[in-house]
Amino acid sequence: MTTQENTPEILPELSASAKRINVKKLLKVPHDLTGKHPGSYGFWFVIRAMFLMANQFIFRRHDSDNVPPTSGGRISVSTHINGLVDPTVILCTQKKRAIALSRHDLTTRPILGWWACRLGIQPVLRKAEIEGGVTDANQARAINDRSMMTVANCIGAGYSVIIMPEGKSHQDTRLHNLRTGSIRSALVSAALANARGNPLPTIQPTGLHWRKHYWFRTDHYVEYGEPIIIPDVMSEGDKAKLLQGEWVEPPAKEVLELRNNLYSKLAQLGPDAPDWATFRAWKLMAHVESIAVGKPLNSLKDEVIAMRKIRENLRSENIQQKLADSAKEAAEILEKNDLDGYSVSADLSIHRPKPLRIIKAIIGVVSIILLLPITLPSSGLQTGLAYFLGNNTDEGLDARTSYFLLASMFSLTMIWPIVAIFSMIILKTPLISMPITFIFLLILYYLAAIISLVSYDWITDWLEDVRRTKLRKSADGEKFVCLLLDLKEGLASLK
């Protein structure tokens, strides 16, 4: 089991945006030290609707556990490999009004910063910015204390907060060290809740799972672990200071104990693998074992649960290195062909093409072409920009889906209304019918986008069949099937 103590600290490489610190704007970010939410109540519903629509647009399938109920505040924490998408998919599965701690530049960027402030986002200056020389420790401490105090008061008042406790986004299969800022805010929030007679808040460990996280229209699954009740460990004197708006550090011992407890729970909900090749091997072994018992995996949630059993079984067994090597080799053959364990058929070979898929792909191509006069002006600009920025950013691979998320979010609220207005001007729509025409055009743009996305899915399904056929007819395909049979026998010997 990976623990915080034996995990090296890895600071993120600073992007150009992270190096631009606008102190004047940071000081103007709305905050509140009384428990009142610093965001706009009306915009909460607008932003939530934007998130839900983006979730529908950029993901093909999405699944979630029911979030455990709580009468107090909730701190949802997860691993962080997928940029802005990570907190978004968590928010879509919960109904409590939420705020979040985020990297400083999210609140100061043009347009995006305005929306972030309406949501109540609180900026933080990370250790990476301090050690990188782009800010000094005193300046960072002043802003961070205010942000953490705002968040702690909100949690104590019963709101939900989404925090990525690693303090950065990364592309590793193991959980990085957790920063203590979120843990300290959690303990302060419990003290404030107790002082005000509110229920104690909870930390909600959250697992975020993806079929392949940087794919457009991939699948995701939000998993909720067992909540951790946050204890009240602060003195009455400290609580009095907190109620006056003064930040007080909780006891270091309790901070480390809570951090280590959270780390062990959160690590279990992630890949927790030495590398991605090993992780892919575990997933393939889960598919092979499930097929062997006559229960093929049909969803990402099923795959996650089955993979975790494989992971824990392998750690408790004296597994032969040959079996591990075979699993890796087979999984890498799939990876090289842009396939995964869902390509394994019930007879432990590679799935054959489904005749209906080519028909649906043809329908998809025709639909996309016919809808181009609608989708190009309504969705073409933001989609093209998202694709360009996602593939030319210094923020890393995790930013790729973030740009598609933003393009989807702002379509309904910014792009489509502008396109609709220009369309009515060009068509010389009578003034009296403009409101109805405006609404009709927004619905038309939405339906055209949905039909185009489904058509895109049908085309990618057919292309997947093409890749499967190519692999099945190759030498790698024959080798892959032999490796699967070895895996089946090896897994059976472990029982």
Give the class (CATH, top level) of 4-268: alpha beta
Dump pLDDT digits (tens) for 281-305. Answer: 999 999 999 999 999 999 999 999 9
Backbone dihedral angles phi then psi of residue 59, each to the nearest 5 degrees: -115, 140
Predicted local distance difference test score (pLDDT) of residue 14: 60
Q: What three-state secondary structure class fits 229?
A: strand
Q: Which pLDDT does position 394 carry in this prediction?
A: 61
What is the residue-averaged pLDDT of the chain?
Answer: 89
pLDDT(250) > 80: yes
What confidence tens digit (pLDDT) does each residue in 470-482 have? 999 999 999 999 9
Does the structure show a pLDDT above 80 at 317?
A: no
CA 212-217-219 angle, to 5 degrees, is 50
Q: Give the model confidence (pLDDT) of 255-286 as tens digits.
A: 999 999 999 999 999 999 999 999 999 999 99
* pLDDT, tens only, 191-244: 999 999 999 999 999 999 999 988 889 999 999 999 999 999 999 999 999 999
Exposure string of 429-461, with b = 16+ CB inside 10 Å and e = fewer, is: beeeeeeebbeebbebbbebbebbbbbbbbbbb
Which long-range contacts does 133-137 make (Cβ < 8 Å, 24+ apart)? 134/14, 134/18, 134/19, 134/21, 135/21
Lowest mean pLDDT: which of 124-128, 306-310, 377-381?
A: 124-128
CA angle centred on 209, ends 207 and 210, rounded to 5° = 165
Q: What is the CA radius of gyration of the chain?
A: 25
pLDDT above 60 for 11: no
Q: Output the CA–CA distances (angstroms, integers) from residue 456 to 30, 220, 222, 338, in the order listed.
A: 41, 18, 24, 17
Structure confidence at residue 318 as a pLDDT band (50, 70, 90): low
Q: How far is it, in rounded angstroms, from Cα 167 to Cα 171? A: 13
Domain boundaries, the chain: 4-268, 276-349+474-493, 355-472
Region 160-182: what's the mean pLDDT? 88
How many CB atoms neighbour CB 73 within 10 A? 31
Q: Across 21-35, 318-332, 412-426, which has the greatest mean pLDDT?
A: 412-426
Give the pLDDT confidence score for residue 274 in this predicted structure.
Answer: 92
State the CB neighbour count (10 A cutoff) for residue 142. 15
Q: How confident is the model at residue 6 (pLDDT cuts 50, 70, 90)?
A: low
294 phi/psi in degrees, rounded to 5: 80, 20
HSE-up (13 A, CA, CB side) for residue 422: 8
Percent of the chain with pLDDT over 70: 93
Mean pLDDT computed over 150-175: 89
> Given this model, what pLDDT does residue 103 score?
80
Residue 428 C-alpha from the chain's centroid = 44
Which pLDDT belongs to residue 9?
Answer: 58
Quote the crossing angle between the two packed helices 434-472 and 475-493, to the nearest 10°: 90
- The 10 Å Cβ neighbour count of residue 244 is 9
Mean pLDDT of 362-387: 93
Structure tokens belonging to residue 243: 């109620």
First-last CA distance in the chain = 22
pLDDT digits (tens, 9 = 90+) for 134-154: 677 777 788 888 888 898 999
For the cut 70, the answer to whether the pLDDT of residue 182 exceeds it is: yes
